């Protein structure tokens, strides 16, 4: 599996010191690659489900409270094209 194609979200990722999530931690929590997460952060307009990050030194971080208030749904549809499934055929 390529690093850009993470498959399963991990909602059990704990915040780091001070209750902060880095891009890497949030990407793991959502089941996304770090590069996809960076794309979302720098997109204009930013996706509505992603709260505004704070800057600590050179890193962008989110507080656990901000993510809780945003109620990011880890079961949302994955980005990209839906997988092809064949419809059942009736004889």
In a domain, 27, yes or no: yes
Domains held by the chain: number: 1
In a domain, 5, yes or no: no
β-pair type (20-22, 54-56): unpaired
In a domain, 4, yes or no: no
| Percent with pLDDT over 90 in the chain | 2
Read off the pLDDT band of 2 (50, 70, 90). Answer: very low
Tokens 């009736």 found at:
90
In a domain, 91, yes or no: no
In a domain, 40, yes or no: yes
In a domain, 75, yes or no: no
In a domain, 26, yes or no: yes
pTM over 0.85? The answer is no
In a domain, 21, yes or no: yes
Characterize 30-65 residue by residue with b for buried, 16 or more Cβ atoms within 10 angstroms of its Cβ, and e for exposed.
bbbbbebbeebbeeeeeeeebbebeeeeeebbbbee
Tokens 């204009």 found at:
44
Among 43, 45, 44, 6, CA closest to 26:
6
Residue 13 has what pLDDT? 77
Q: Which domain holds residue 30?
A: 17-70
């Amino acid at each position: 599996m390529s690093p850009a194609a993470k498959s399963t979200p991990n909602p059990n990722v704990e915040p780091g010191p001070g209750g902060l999530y880095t891009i890497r931690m949030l990407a793991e929590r959502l089941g996304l690659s770090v590069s996809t997460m960076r794309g979302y952060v720098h997109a204009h307009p930013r996706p509505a489900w992603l709260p505004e990050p704070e800057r600590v030194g050179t890193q962008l971080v989110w507080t656990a409270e901000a993510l809780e208030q945003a109620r990011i749904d880890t079961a949302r549809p994955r980005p990209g094209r839906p997988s092809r499934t064949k419809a059942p055929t009736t004889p």
